[in-house]
Amino acid sequence: MSTEYEMVVGLEVHSQLLTRTKLFCRCENRFGAPPNSLTCPVCLGHPGVLPVLNEEAVRLGIRLGLALECSIHHRSVFDRKHYFYPDLPKGYQISQFTYPLLTGGLLTVRSGEGTREVRIHRIHMEEDAGKNMHAGIRDASHVDLNRSGVPLLEIVSEPDIRTPEEAVDYLKKLRQILRSIGVSDGNMEEGSFRCDANVSLRPRGGSVFGTKVEIKNMNSFRFVHKALLFECDRQAQILDRGERVVSETRLFDSSTGRTLPMRSKEEALDYRYFPEPDLPPILLDPAWIEEERARLPELPQERVSRLSREFGIREEDAEALVLEEDLSRYFEEASEAIQEFAGKGGWPVEQGTLRLVNFLLSEVLREWNRKGAGILVGPLSAREVSHLVSMVVEEQISLNQAKDVYAVCVESLKSPREVVAEKNLFQESGDEALGGWIAEVMAENPGEVQSYREGKERVFGFLVGQVMKKSAGKANPQKVNRMLKEALSR
Ligand code: ADP
Ligand code: MG
Ligand code: ZN
């Protein structure tokens, strides 16, 4: 993008809630069942039926409101939002318009080296629509209404985001919060976390916003990033030509990485909102809100602060760990084991913790991304990983060897102890063994010892090599270096 422009982004996220049943009927809220097997007259939109609000969905809304520090309204109202599409059997969606459950709120995201506070505009409750199915069907479209009536929260940010990276971090942090408080599984492949991005450009330093374009329904962080970059370029070219950006809704085509026009704002739908006559307003008892507040678990940001404080690790590292909540739990468990190993081995805990963090964020995270969270159990318990890391700290094996051992463990389901023994990897670091070899080598090579002491430092490498040879490659090279230098200077 040309640096003359500043990007302005506001995000609208639809998140499916982890309720057992749908928002207004008792059908199961579950992904992956055979089409139309989870339906009833209410979510099929038959005439004459009445919706009954699922209290659990409201409870989850309250939890999100607490986590994002929103104003939680003691009175909110459902409205009918009308549009005509085959996946919407009633011809309207029950949503909230004038009086949403939540307004205001804040999410702090990473911005370059610093942070940026993104304000939440509003969060309202609504029901999901069904899903049209085209794949493998000729001359027809089918509709699966299992999703019809599934509870959603729509989370609308203020246009406070300024870069694609901030947008992605906002989405990651939001998804992480939703998951950590049990509001949503945030599963993007299954559509439980979907994003519309609104984007405009303005001259850098300007104070008025430009005309925005809305990019609909992206279900991956990578797509959001790509779509924003593309849209930024496209709009910059339009502005550079002295033309105006058209206010419109666009679609992201993931196969080309481009956005394509879907409908212009002139064709904008008139939703004919009006209050849902079949549902009373939601009235919240303040005591209920306080109960939920007391039941809220540690939030991701609190966890980051605590981990970095308690274990003395960098904020960035803590944040990377907490992005995968299970990984951060694993880290805590492993850290406790590290303390134990450090106590036994008589070395500083911090040294082990640092190595542990690095190991988790490289080797373990890589396997995790490849194989899923399953790698955190089994032979490589948190304790075993700590043991492996301790062996590196104690210089029994090198870091590279530890990485190899880890890979073998993951494949073979053997423990690090077994693999290290099998591969015969243990380095010799004992003072006695190393001292013995060094003494022998010095006795056998008096000439080299003499010339080293006269200043020919080049022979040092030769002497180290001799010690390594005597140990059949097992001597810990760093320690040999150290001890040999000492011996030669005596
Ligand atoms: P609409 O009426 O088109 O739905 P809203 O004002 O309701 O627009 O805003 C929808 C989303 O678009 C919000 O997330 C908001 O932050 C964002 N938004 C509003 N104006 C702009 C703009 N000029 N550039 C980028 N995003 C914007
Ligand atoms: Mg909108
Ligand atoms: Zn139903």
Give the H or E element holding residue 337. Answer: helix 325-345
Kindly state if the Cβ of 212 falls inside 6 Å of ligand 1. yes
Q: In the structure encoding, which two tokens stand for residue 127, read together?
A: 């029901």
- pLDDT tens track for 192-220: 999 999 999 999 989 999 999 999 989 89
Q: How close is the Cα of 442 to the center of ligand 2, in Å?
A: 80
Q: How close is the Cα of 471 to the center of ligand 2, in Å?
A: 71
What's the pLDDT at 474?
78
What's the pLDDT at 3?
65
Instruction: Flag whether pLDDT at 426 surpasses 80.
Output: no
What's the pLDDT at 379?
63
What's the pLDDT at 367?
86
Kindly state if the Cβ of 157 falls inside 6 Å of ligand 1. yes
- Minimum-distance ligand 1 atom for the alpha carbon of 210: 23
Instruction: Flag whether pLDDT at 103 surpasses 60.
Output: yes
User: Which parts of 128-285 are beta strand (E)?
Assistant: 131-133, 142-144, 151-157, 193-203, 213-218, 248-253, 258-264, 274-275, 282-283
Concatenated DSSP letters for 253-321? ETTTTEEEEEEEGGG------EE-TTSPPEE--HHHHHHHHHH----HHHHHHHHHHHH---HHHHHHH
What's the pLDDT at 136?
84
Kindly state if the Cβ of 235 falls inside 6 Å of ligand 1. no
Kindly state if the Cβ of 213 falls inside 6 Å of ligand 1. no
Distance in angstroms (rounded) separating the CA atoms of residues 389 and 354? 10
- pLDDT tens track for 129-171: 999 998 888 888 899 999 999 999 999 999 999 999 999 999 9
Kindly state if the Cβ of 162 falls inside 6 Å of ligand 1. no
Biggest distance spanned by C-alpha atoms of the chain: 104
Q: How close is the Cα of 266 to the center of ligand 2, in Å?
A: 15
Phi, psi (rounded to 5 degrees) for 27: -65, 150
Residue for token pair 């992904």: 31
Instruction: Flag whether pLDDT at 398 surpasses 90.
Output: no
Q: How close is the Cα of 217 to the center of ligand 1, in Å?
A: 15
Q: How many CB atoms lie within 10 A of CB 334?
A: 26
Q: How close is the Cα of 248 to the center of ligand 1, in Å?
A: 12
Q: How many CB atoms lie within 10 A of CB 115?
A: 12
Rounded to 10°, the helix 164-180/315-323 angle is: 60
Mean pLDDT of the chain: 93
Mutating to test ligand 1, I would choose from 14, 208, 212 the residue with most ligand atoms within 8 A of its C-beta, which is 212
Q: How close is the Cα of 11 to the center of ligand 2, in Å?
A: 9
- pLDDT tens track for 63-81: 999 999 999 999 999 999 9
Specify the pTM. 0.83
Mutating to test ligand 1, I would choose from 198, 213, 215, 246 the residue with most ligand atoms within 8 A of its C-beta, which is 198
- pLDDT tens track for 282-298: 999 999 999 999 999 99
Among protein residues, the one whose CA lies closest to atom 3 of ligand 1:
214
What's the pLDDT at 466?
92
Kindly state if the Cβ of 191 falls inside 6 Å of ligand 1. no
Instruction: Flag whether pLDDT at 56 surpasses 70.
Output: yes
Distance in angstroms (rounded) separating the CA atoms of residues 74 and 76? 7
- pLDDT tens track for 363-384: 888 888 888 777 776 668 899 9
Percent of the chain with pLDDT over 90: 76
Kindly state if the Cβ of 124 falls inside 6 Å of ligand 1. no
Kindly state if the Cβ of 122 falls inside 6 Å of ligand 1. no
Query: Please, are residues 280 and 294 in contact by the beta-carbon 8 Å criterion?
Result: no
pLDDT band of residue 324 (cuts 50, 70, 90) is confident
Distance in angstroms (rounded) separating the CA atoms of residues 362 and 357? 9
What's the pLDDT at 484?
92
Instruction: Flag whether pLDDT at 272 surpasses 70.
Output: yes
What's the pLDDT at 417?
85
- Minimum-distance ligand 1 atom for the alpha carbon of 11: 14
User: Which parts of 376-440 are beta strand (E)?
Assistant: none
Q: How close is the Cα of 121 to the center of ligand 1, in Å?
A: 10
What's the pLDDT at 113?
85
Ligand at minimal distance from the CA of 156 is 1
Which domains are assigned to the chain?
5-293 (no CATH), 298-422 (no CATH), 431-489 (1.10.10.410)
Among protein residues, the one whose CA lies closest to atom 7 of ligand 1:
156
Give the residue-averaged pLDDT of 4-21: 97
Q: How close is the Cα of 10 to the center of ligand 1, in Å?
A: 6
Kindly state if the Cβ of 227 falls inside 6 Å of ligand 1. no
Kindly state if the Cβ of 201 falls inside 6 Å of ligand 1. no
Kindly state if the Cβ of 6 falls inside 6 Å of ligand 1. no
Q: How close is the Cα of 12 to the center of ligand 2, in Å?
A: 7
Kindly state if the Cβ of 249 falls inside 6 Å of ligand 1. no
- Minimum-distance ligand 1 atom for the alpha carbon of 247: 3
Kindly state if the Cβ of 158 falls inside 6 Å of ligand 1. yes
Kindly state if the Cβ of 247 falls inside 6 Å of ligand 1. no
